[in-house]
Structure 1
């Protein structure tokens, strides 16, 4: 009987509300143009509605559930039903569950942002299509890094990939770093060590006593005490790479060279501001007689005396230098003359001599005369060597074809005359680029001529004409070469059958390029996104389309 009375009361309320709404709609039609009275009408309607509303029972009282009509005790957490009444706890849970499912169903699909896609391309992750099972597992582990207890016995390549992903996601912390430390390892590589403390670095040498290769980037808390502990525990250490270890004093570096110098074969140091001066480099040359690989970049306290010390390292095979001070060319030439015969890779970045106002080509000449076993050459950010010097370097050079060439930012810096002198171009120009490709095109895999703005459009089109083939070229950097346009990029695709990556930042003439399957084009602001195509028939049709596009552009250029 109580339920029947409740239903009758609800029907009466619904009839009264419907009558009020009908009267209000009729009144609105009569006063359609009188907008000022609308607020008063709404208030009057709300007052009438409140008169027919049933007062909700207070906590502790009994009420009937609006949905299941069961009797329950009201609490402060009792929820309201669809019609304004209260509902019991089980019905409230079901309603909340349904609401959550509905909200999830109505949630729009969040697509991967273009910025994220371009970030992965710049990192080299240009894989298209479905990810491999291995890649999915690695990403899942990185996502739940805090819940992983141990990796177990994983191969070194997978461990390295995991370390890279952990570092990129800023997940390399003291609790996760222990996952990469196992007693049987001989290599520890951490790409992002900014979150690690001094005690964490000590654990590396305590847990991995047989470590031979150590690579730490952004190791801000690597201190003198850590260096002492490394000297004591890591007795088999042969390769060291540290970036940002600014809390190690100069004397500790010398102590390390004295203790581990006879077995040290590789040393790579970057971004050192407070210590590591010429005295440390001299100790390196004296106590590390078997050093084969040396990399010193942006170490602000080293200068001319360090160049003289490096000249005494007769077993060097790989040399990378980037100084923050000006170095006289005669000192640099003396170093190249002394160690150039055994070098396999040579990287000289931003080496300038402020005393010379005219182009001086003696450094390039020293490389030509003394380096005959190079496979990699990087000579960048130079505005003192002329195009003629690069022609002489690659002409009749008694050196096998290079695999890796980086000559970016070798150009004239005169803002008044950006095209350079009329009689000779400064930096890598058309003649030098032609000589480079003639010498090394057969084995060249990586080429960087970014910001070499003295290479003409005719030179690019003659080298990449669609018929000449460069089978080993996989990556080419053409950024800020203003003459590069759609035609040049299209013919690069035809001349380089194994090309994987083309970078064209600042090349605003690159417009609607059809990018073949498996190739990524980065930096073209108006180019199409990467197109993934399947089947040999589609590829043949695409090659024909590229050929027709090239012919049409040549006809338009001739007209």
Structure 2
């Protein structure tokens, strides 16, 4: 036994597996006796900082001594390498290896920390994948991977794979991705974006209107505002959409002889406040009772007017001689007939736009009851056709006549010729817009039967260049007065001959001129407008040959020019001439 004890330095070796051999090649031996070896089995770490080799009991040990040892130690000595392999799950091989490599002998945690500090590892940012860094726990050099983790208690110190488990860090956990920002929703194409622009202090006029609206009951304290100023106040109130039944009373007065209201339909057009009728039937009755002496009445957008309104007006408005209504849709022919019979021969001027209930019977009552009419404007009348012109031929005192935009059958050349032959001697203004059935024969009728005509509107009528030239030549020949207001819009076939004849006949009188749609007129002919000294407003839209030099000629030769419209004149540039007080509207380059 003593001989066997002499070999005390030898270690017990048994059959080894591939894993045990691999660990032995790395200098790692299985730990015996559990996780807390006895002090005599613990040796200082090697110079490389790794755990030292564990010395085992001598190989020559008597069975008596084995029996005398504690059972725990005896079980540790009986561990075989195959048992080590069997106890390590295949899925956790890497964890077992890391645990075996990094689990030091007794007191190894403090030793390992001291070793990391002795290595002088300093905090630093994580290097690129594949670079080398020193572990912030053990001080060993390791390769940076996508799984490299930061020390949980020491910022900017990075851990090797072996040191992660003992610090409670999963070495193979994927890095948490930052929550992706929700992609902004695409704005709907039909969504309207509204931009609010600060305009600074409110205008004084708005402040005054608001004050008047709040103190409408005490409006008499303002005293006599005057008819001119009252008209301005009415225009401001209507334009700002603040006309209400309360503010409307500001415009009523017993001594008023002229009343104009520019918007009688709605108070506000905002989405939160839908269209609200301002003046209803009762409001029109109150107007007639509070303004019994009114002579001229002009109501725009009076869509809430009813049949009973006109019937009541015929009884209340004893001095009414001039009436203009825009949009009395609800008034039936019974109301018109009752009103015409009531006002009788004192009615001198009647202008009605957009009324589908007026028929031939209504016109016949109008002509019979109101023979002294000097102005008759009928536009967009639902049943207007050539038959209406037969009774109108009896109105011998007409000075201004409009029969435009018929909603039914358009007027014919023969019917218009018959009418002008009867009433054209005193006409100074004629409007036959949007009658597509009229032709060049119309110009012959006007030249023969309207010697005093100074205002003419033939918009959207198919006329030839030769016929228009002959018309103006005939007026020159018969020494007719020149035109002051002329609208030949959409004369697509009109060109230089027509314009030169027009200028020759009306160069000293023309004030307003529309040549919109004269696509074939040449620039030289347009430049001749420089000889029209009273020309204030001209529309040259879609005259394709107009250039910057054409505009310059007009500006230099027309001292009264205030507005030039040039929509569709694509030869104009940003260098178009300017003039103080002149407004040029429609330059295409300004929209780019």
TM-score by length of 1: 0.65
Are the structure 2 counterparts of residues 489 and 316 from structure 1 closer, same or farther at C-alpha, using a change threshold of 3 Å?
A: same
* Counterpart position of 2:473: 395
SS in structure 1 of the partner of residue 516 of structure 2: coil
Structure 2 residue 382 is the aligned partner of structure 1 residue 337: no
Alignment check: 8 A CA contact 1:515 1:528 kept: no
Alignment correspondent of 1:154:
225
1:522-541 deviation line (CA, Å, top 9, x unaligned): 11122599xxxxxxxxxxxx
Tell whether 2:208 aligns with 1:141. yes
Aligned residues, how many? 390
Give the superposed CA RMSD.
Answer: 3.0
> What's the CA shift for 1:470?
2.4
Are the aligned partners of 1:469 and 1:497 in contact in 2 as well (CA < 8 Å)? no
1:286 aligns with 2:368: yes
Change (3 A) 1:109 1:226: closer
8 Å CA contact 1:409, 1:450 repeated in 2: yes
Asked if 1:219 corresponds to 2:302, the answer is yes
Q: Report the counterpart of residue 348 of structure 2 in structure 1.
A: 265
> Is residue 555 of structure 2 the alignment partner of residue 493 of structure 1?
yes
Task: Kindly report which structure 2 residues correspond to 1:468-547, keeping only aligned pairs within 5 A, or say none.
Answer: 468-512=530-574, 513-526=576-589
- Cα distance in 1 between the residues matched to 2:522 and 2:577: 23
SS in 1 for 2:241: coil
SS of structure 2 residue aligned to 1:229:
helix
* Mapped partners of 2:342, 2:147: distance in 1: 91
State the partner residue of 2:453.
374
Counterpart of 1:63 in structure 2 is none
With 164-173 and 316-325 compared, the bigger mean Cα shift is at: 164-173
| Matched residue SS, 1:390 | helix
Partner of 2:273: none
| CA deviation map 1:193-238 (0-9, x unaligned) | 0032111111111111111111111111111221121111101110
- Closer, same or farther: CA 510–207 of 1 in aligned 2, 3 Å: same
Distance in 1 (alpha carbons) for counterparts of 2:453 and 2:229: 31
Higher Cα Rg, which structure? 2
State the Cα distance separating 1:136 from its structure 2 match: 6.1
Deviation at 1:514, TM superposition (A): 3.2
Partner-residue secondary structure (3-state), 2:542: coil
Name the counterpart of 1:98. none
Tell me if structure 2 keeps the 8 A contact 1:371–1:399.
no
Equivalent-residue separation in structure 2 for 1:36 and 1:473 (angstroms): 86
Per the alignment, in what secondary structure is the counterpart of residue 531 of structure 2? coil
The residue aligned with 2:464 is 386
The equivalences for 1:240-389 within 5 A come to 240-273=323-356, 275-322=357-404, 323-324=406-407, 325-353=409-437, 360-383=439-462, 385-389=463-467
CA deviation after TM superposition for structure 1 residue 502, in Å: 0.7
Measure the CA separation in 2 of the matches of 1:203 and 1:347.
Answer: 35
Q: Which residue of 2 aligns with 1:204?
A: 287
Q: In structure 1, the residue corresponding to 2:589 is in which secondary structure? A: coil
Deviation at 1:447, TM superposition (A): 0.7
TM-aligned CA deviation for residue 375 of structure 1:
2.0
> Which residue is 2:48 aligned to?
none
- Mind listing any 5+ residue stretches in structure 2 that lack a counterpart? 1-121, 130-145, 156-194, 266-277
Contact map agreement 1:278 1:303 (CA 8 A) in 2: no
- Please state which structure has a larger fraction of its residues in helix: 1
Change (3 A) 1:302 1:30: same
- Partners of 2:427 and 2:322 in 1: CA distance: 18
Q: Distance in 2 between matches of 1:140 and 1:366?
A: 55
1:435 aligns with 2:501: yes
8 Å Cα contact 1:292-1:315 kept in structure 2: yes
Q: What are the Cα deviations for residues 55-114 of structure 1, in whole angstroms up to 9, with x where unaligned?
A: xxxxxxxxxxxxxxxxxxxxxxxxxxxxxxxxxxxxxxxxxxxxxxxxxxxxx995769x
Range that drifts further, 198-207 or 136-145? 136-145
- How far the C-alpha of 1:263 sits from its partner, in A, is 0.4
In the other structure, the counterpart of 2:92 is none
Q: For each residue in 1:217-272, what CA deviation from the matched residue of structure 2 results, as whole angstroms up to 9, or x when unmatched?
A: 11111112211211111011101111111111112211111111210000000011
Q: In 1, Cα distance between the equivalents of 2:283 and 2:393?
A: 37
Contact 2:308 2:335 in 1 (8 A): no
Q: Give TM-score scaled by structure 2 length.
A: 0.61
RCO (CA 8 Å, sep 6+): is it higher in 1 or 2?
Answer: 1
**What per-residue deviation string (whole Å, max 9, x for no partner) do you get for residues 415-451 of structure 1?**
xxxxxxxxxxx3x321111111111111111111111
Instruction: Tell me, yes or no, if structure 1 residue 457 matches structure 2 residue 527.
Output: no
1:11 corresponds to which residue?
none
The match for 2:22 is none
Mapping of residues 35-54 of structure 1, within 5 Å: none
Offset at residue 303 of structure 1 (A): 1.5
The equivalent residue for 2:98 is none
Residue 344 of structure 1, CA deviation: 1.3
Q: CA deviation at 1:335?
A: 0.8
